[in-house]
Chain A
């Protein structure tokens, strides 16, 4: 069948493999953390659990970017903004959950508001003590911002680098705004000192593992969703818009609607990623809006390989793993490595790792098979040239 449905996307081979690896790894980490005692050699620390959870959030974010960049050709340099907005929505809920356990013991106001001598909760903080409301906002705020911004941009046909630059300006403006204390989101320090989520303490191993599982499930769901979207006729139109936008317009598609649809969907996914990220790392601050974050995200997708979905996931995990390792061993070299990665990927590896593997797969496979058969053969013949 040509047109995919959510069901068909769920059952195709790529999705199955993807989910197999994802859930396999998650379950393994979970079991190693839960079953083995902390002094065992096989024990996986809570730190590692959280680290993996963080990577998966980044992977979800990269997936969101791949949807707009890889498939629709919109290079957004502001996707970090949607991630951060989702994170702030979650952070506000977690802030309200602290209640009177804060430093000032004020049940009505978060600590930073008490510190700033605010007398009452700003109107936009109301409702965030309810999880359902926060969850709604996690989807709605990034989605709405993307919708309004995209509507303005795509309607007036802002494309290419112009769009990239104004998305960058968007996240930059948001960063400046969130740094301001007056805005009521904790200014410079952001939101932190969270206690619990839905009644479960964020410090406990159980909650950490549960958050990891939730992230893995969200990632799997988003992956299948993206497979469905890209496999449908909508996906083909979006690809057509990427390759020849004016042609698509001349055969009757409102290309701005398609771009807007994909951009908004992607922003919502990014928001979800941010919301899952915040309880795991325990803080959200305006630094998340920094243009550098958004552009780093682009390199994850570029390293993995565009327009493949799983490439984005692989890229996000690999680059961030590299970052963890590098900043541990020699922190000052990390920016050199990242910078070099940007240059190397764009100049030498435009299709990313996935593209590289796909290109060389036949040769690799052949060689692998050959060496296999060589082992079986008893004769001591030399290597075939």
Chain B
């Protein structure tokens, strides 16, 4: 019964996350473009000037003149426009005072090496004092960026288009808006459309027509872009119309509610990720403590060994960070498992049935392992490089993203958990482990070599600790104290979940992880941890056998 219950609970936890983060996303979004009554302003007709002529206008001191020049440059139909605008941003467009022209320039050996802006051919060098980069201010930077975005908006690459549209959100320049509108008609990429609509709707907020504004407000109320909230707030401060005020307040409230939901989802995601770390750390312990009744205080150090193995593997294969984890995993399993079997054979074997003594002896082992690592690797922390495919984040919407390393660790923890469960339920070793753990004497009488099973079980639990170490190395610093900081938490998880019940361990790990993260914003990290510890202490006193206790005669030994 306890088993079923724990499964349901575990499932609920998972569903909570998924539903919170994606349910709203699955709702059909109304992405109608704003109905606008605005007329596109008539375009000015520019005199046909060469690119060099336009550039030369940048020699003017006035920023207004420079802006005009930039806009003029942007209107030219030439492949040189984008590189030149970029060069301007990078301060690589220089004003040559000797002949009062503008050219591309690099500073080298105290001299300017000048290049022709159109052909990029070298046109000589001048003294470093004779030339100076064209000075731009923030306003010009925005103008340039917008112009660049405008170009990118018509790029063939949909990512570039989306980025450009995003850049233009909040922009009220009529040229930009008409460009966006134009693009909107031919655009077929949903992400780009979404960004363009956001930009256009924000622009529509300042429309003269009330209906347009109200439509825009309504559409924007489903949009989480940070700029949306700013614009709505701006509008709220400026509007005089009551109906609009009400609509704005409603929209803002709706956005805030959604942001709050996503923040909760974010907290839960962090909780799940902490929970999966706890699960990884505790699951090996659940085997050695739960199945074998051995208190292994060196468990944390076995995790630490796994983390150091990752470090060593990376040192040995310095050029293959992308896949060295694949080697580190089995290596860490082996290292920790071998050390674990060693501990079992030379220490724990003599102490079966005396749990308090195993606690003390393995604590001694943990001190030795820690000190050994200090002597071999130095007491300082070592850094493990995270492969590229694990860095970055999955951006679900502007306020909610899932970092890949945490995401992978959640899946990894679940995979390890399921793997272990299968191993215990389906294989011969699993059967023998369960037999020995339930009744040593009978198991032995049936011909099971309990000594071998003990060693293998302990090796298995230790090996999993090693694997946990590989995962932890991606999240924290690798140092001699790595294990110590997890041992108490791991024990809490196992005891809280109910000894000998893997599903209980799973539920406890995720439950405690989420509880910890939910408390953190209210109480701060340290206090949250203390509160969780106190909660567990009180909980164990109410239910000494944990969430999912074993019942019956066997449990009363």
Stretch at the interface among B21-29, B204-212, B355-363, B504-512: B355-363
| Number of residues from A at the complex interface, CB < 8 A | 42
B327-370: contact bitstring with A at CB < 8 Å (1 yes, 0 no)? 00000000000000000000100110001111111011111101
Closest residue of A by beta carbon distance from B295: A161
Q: Are A179 and B541 in contact (CB under 8 A)?
A: no
**A165 with B491, Cβ < 8 A, contacts A75-B359, A158-B540, A295-B363 known:** yes
- B374 contacts chain A at the CB level, 8 A cutoff: yes
Within 8 A of B (CB), among A16-54: none
Q: Are A173 and B540 in contact (CB under 8 A)?
A: no
- A217 contacts chain B at the CB level, 8 A cutoff: no
Contacts of A345 in B (CB 8 A): 360
Question: In the bound complex, how far is the Cα of B365 from the Cα of A341, in angstroms?
Answer: 10
- B375 contacts chain A at the CB level, 8 A cutoff: yes
Q: Are B537 and A342 in contact (CB under 8 A)?
A: no
Q: Are B541 and A158 in contact (CB under 8 A)?
A: yes
**A335 with B541, Cβ < 8 A, contacts A340-B364, A346-B361 known:** no
Q: Are A346 and B367 in contact (CB under 8 A)?
A: no
Main secondary structure of the interface of B (DSSP, over half): helix
A292-312: contact bitstring with B at CB < 8 Å (1 yes, 0 no)? 000100110010000000000
Q: Are B544 and A332 in contact (CB under 8 A)?
A: no
- B538 contacts chain A at the CB level, 8 A cutoff: yes
A137-181: contact bitstring with B at CB < 8 Å (1 yes, 0 no)? 000000000000100110111111110111011101100110110
Q: Which of B351, B495, B540, B543 has the most CB of A within 10 A?
A: B540
- B148 contacts chain A at the CB level, 8 A cutoff: no
**A340 with B368, Cβ < 8 A, contacts A176-B530, A332-B375 known:** yes
User: Within the complex, which residue of A158, A176, A177 is in contact with B544, where a contact is CB–CB below 8 Å?
Assistant: A158
- A184 contacts chain B at the CB level, 8 A cutoff: no
- B488 contacts chain A at the CB level, 8 A cutoff: yes
**Whole-angstrom distance between the Cβ of B498 and the nearest chain A Cβ:** 11
Contacts of A158 in B (CB 8 A): 540-541, 544
Contacts of B526 in A (CB 8 A): 176-177, 179-180
Q: Are A335 and B363 in contact (CB under 8 A)?
A: no
- B136 contacts chain A at the CB level, 8 A cutoff: no
**A346 with B541, Cβ < 8 A, contacts A161-B295, A339-B365 known:** no
Contacts of A244 in B (CB 8 A): none
Q: Are A160 and B356 in contact (CB under 8 A)?
A: yes
User: Within the complex, which residue of A75, A161, A342, A350 is in contact with B367, where a contact is CB–CB below 8 Å?
Assistant: A342
Contacts of A169 in B (CB 8 A): 488, 491-492, 533, 536-537
Contacts of A341 in B (CB 8 A): 364
Using a Cβ cutoff of 8 Å, how many contacts connect chains A and B? 117
Q: Are A153 and B495 in contact (CB under 8 A)?
A: no
**Whole-angstrom distance between the Cβ of B40 and the nearest chain A Cβ:** 61
Q: Which of B370, B538, B541 has the most CB of A within 10 A?
A: B541
Question: In the bound complex, how far is the Cα of B357 from the Cα of A345, in angstroms?
Answer: 9
Q: Are A160 and B355 in contact (CB under 8 A)?
A: yes
- B183 contacts chain A at the CB level, 8 A cutoff: no
Main secondary structure of the interface of A (DSSP, over half): helix
Contacts of A75 in B (CB 8 A): 356, 359
Question: In the bound complex, how far is the Cα of B367 from the Cα of A298, in angstroms?
Answer: 14
Question: In the bound complex, how far is the Cα of B534 from the Cα of A153, in angstroms?
Answer: 13
Q: Are A346 and B495 in contact (CB under 8 A)?
A: no
B: contact size bracket = 35 or more
Q: Are B371 and A332 in contact (CB under 8 A)?
A: yes
Within 8 A of B (CB), among A272-303: 291, 295, 298-299, 302
- A318 contacts chain B at the CB level, 8 A cutoff: no
- B529 contacts chain A at the CB level, 8 A cutoff: yes
User: Within the complex, which residue of A165, A295, A340, A343 is in contact with B495, where a contact is CB–CB below 8 Å?
Assistant: A165
- B553 contacts chain A at the CB level, 8 A cutoff: no
- A347 contacts chain B at the CB level, 8 A cutoff: yes
Q: Are B351 and A347 in contact (CB under 8 A)?
A: yes
- A338 contacts chain B at the CB level, 8 A cutoff: yes
Q: Are B367 and A338 in contact (CB under 8 A)?
A: yes
Contacts of B371 in A (CB 8 A): 332, 335-336, 339
Q: Are A176 and B529 in contact (CB under 8 A)?
A: yes
Q: Are A156 and B533 in contact (CB under 8 A)?
A: no
- B542 contacts chain A at the CB level, 8 A cutoff: yes
User: Within the complex, which residue of B295, B370, B544 is in contact with A157, where a contact is CB–CB below 8 Å?
Assistant: B544
**A339 with B366, Cβ < 8 A, contacts A160-B356, A169-B488, A332-B375 known:** yes
**Whole-angstrom distance between the Cβ of B314 and the nearest chain A Cβ:** 26
Given contacts A75-B356, A346-B351, A346-B361, 5 further A-B contacts (CB under 8 A): A161-B295, A164-B295, A164-B359, A169-B537, A342-B360
**29 cross-chain CB contacts under 8 A:** A75-B356, A75-B359, A155-B541, A156-B542, A158-B541, A159-B544, A160-B355, A161-B355, A164-B356, A164-B359, A166-B495, A166-B540, A169-B492, A172-B533, A173-B529, A173-B530, A295-B360, A299-B360, A332-B375, A335-B368, A335-B371, A339-B366, A340-B364, A341-B364, A342-B361, A342-B365, A343-B364, A346-B358, A347-B350
Residues of A within 8 A of B (CB): 75, 149, 152-153, 155-162, 164-166, 168-170, 172-173, 176-177, 179-180, 291, 295, 298-299, 302, 332, 335-336, 338-343, 345-347, 350
Nearest 8 A/B pairs, CB to CB? A342-B364, A339-B367, A339-B368, A335-B371, A346-B361, A339-B364, A173-B533, A152-B541
Residues of B within 8 A of A (CB): 295, 347, 350-351, 355-361, 363-368, 370-372, 374-375, 488, 491-492, 495, 526-527, 529-530, 533-534, 536-538, 540-544
